[in-house]
Structure 1
C-alpha cells in the first residue's frame, strides 16, 4: 500500500492496465448506480461488475462487520464514514495520487469525515425531506408534520424510509432539538412523536421512486433525487423541504479493507472522478455529485429542478450533520429498535 501511495500518476495508469481484468463487487444503495456507467467501465477495463443493494447505512454496516461478504467497494453516508474508519473497515487506496483526484470540487476535497480524501471519493450528495402526491394533499408540504403528524388526507398513506439517522434527525428538528443530542428530555419528545405517528403510517420501506410514481404511496420521507425521478414519471409528485430542519448529506465510495479486487476497486474510484462518468451517476439517480466539470454532461432539467434548487427561504433549514458520538448513537438505536416493533 505504501508503494502505491508514492507511485506517480503514470505508474498508477500502468498498474491499472495490468490489473484491468477480473471482477469487482460493489455494495451500494438500491437503484442508485447508473447501469450505463457500469457498462462503460466494464467495457473499458474488461472487468465484470456485480452490484448488491442495501436499504440503509445500518444494514450495510452490519453486513460488512460480520465479514465474509465478498464486497470490494461500499458507499456509506458521510455520517457513517468515521465509524467505518474507526473500526478499520476501510483501506487508504491512494486517492490523492489518482489521476482524476483534482476533479473533486474544493468544498468536498478536505472534508471533516475524511480529511484529504484518504479513504473515499464523492459519489453523490443531496437532501432528505418529504415527497407528497399533490392529488392526495394540497396543503403545506415543507414540514415534517407530513409524517410526524399526518393530515387526515394522508393518514395510512405515508411511508417512512428505514434510514435511522435521517428519520431521527428530522424528528429532533421537528421537536426543537439538535441532531446527536444526549438531552434525555428532547430524545423522549422525539421518541413519543415517532411512536404516536407510526400507527398513521402505511409502511417503512426503501425504494420509493416507483411507488411514488405509480401512486401506491401518497407521501414519504424521501431523498431529493428519488423524488425528482418520481416526479418525472408523475407530475403530481412534489418534494418538500421541512422548515423545521432537514439533513444535507454526501455518500462516498470507499474500498473495504478486506477487498479481494483491490486494483480494480482503485480503477473504479478514479473512473467515477472523471466528470463525464460522474455525470452518468447524476443523470441516472438525479443527485449532485461533487465533481467539477460534470455539469456540462448532465441533463438540462437538473439545473432548474425544484428537488435540486432549494427555495431561498428554506436554504437555512438544511443542516449538514456529522456522525453522532457513541452515547447519542445508543439513544438513537434504542428509539429506532422500539419503533421497529
Structure 2
C-alpha cells in the first residue's frame, strides 16, 4: 500500500454518522473527495451530505469488508467505535487513520491515563477499581472527594459520580452499574483548557491555540479561543500535545482536555482521538479548521495553517435551544452550524454557534 497523498476524487470512509462525521464529510467534499459513511442509523446526519452510506452495525464483518474495499482511507468520528473494527479493516489491507492503537487506548480510562503518564503528560492520581472492596481501598489511598468513572464508554458526564465521603462508596458503585471503573483524585484547578492538534503521515504536527472551556452538568457549553494564557502555559500545552501525538504514532486530529493549575502547570484530563467539540471555534477562527485538518492528515496531504484570524466564542445549542435558529441567523457576528438532527431531545447537541470578534 502506498503512502502517497490521496488525489481528489478518492473516497474517504467515516465510521459514524453524527454531527462530527457530517462536518468531516463537508470538509472532505470541499477538497474534492467523495465520502462514504458507515452507521447503523439510516439517513444519518453525515449520510445525508455524503456520496453514500452503508447502514450496518460498526462490527458487521460483511459491511466492514465492503467498506474497506470502496474506501481509500477509513477514519472515525467518535471513539466508541469498536477498536476491533479498525483492526479488521487494517488487517484486510485498508488504510486507516488514526490507527486502532490510539482508539483502544482512548476507550479505556486506565489504559489512557497509564499511557499519558508514560509519555510525560501528567494526570491526576488514579486507582483501577474492579470490585466494591477495590473502591473502598482506593478511597483510602486517594481520599475524598474523588471521581468514580466507568473504565469504558460514558461521555458528557455519563457513567461517573462524585464520592464525597467513604460511606458513599457502595451507592456510587451501584450508580455506575458495578462495572470496572477508575477512581480519580480531585484536581485543584483554576480552569479547564483544551488543545486541538494534528499529526500527518510524515510526522509533521500542527497545533491550534488553546481554548478555555466551561461545562454545565458534565456537558460542554462554551469554548473561548484563543484563550488568554501566558507563554509558559502555552508551551507546556504544546509539549503535551506533541508527546501524545508521537507516543501514539498518531495520524489525524486529536482533542486534549487539560486542567490548568496555574503557573504553567497542566494536568491532562482526557484525550479524544478525533475532531473535538472544543475545536469547533476553528471553523470561523482559522483559515484551516479542525475538520479540514483531519481530512488533510488522513489523506496524506500537507497540514494546514493554525494561526487564528479572529477570537471566537463557541456555544453549544442543546435540545430545544436550536429553536433559536432564526434569531441567531440574523446576527452579523454569529455563524450558525446546524447538525441536521430530526429530534431535539433534552441535552442533545443539535447545533453550535460561533460568535466572532476581532483579535
Structure number with the higher strand fraction is 2
Greater relative contact order (Cα 8 A, min sep 6): structure 1 or 2?
A: 1
Structure number with the higher helix fraction is 1
- TM-score normalized by structure 1? 0.29
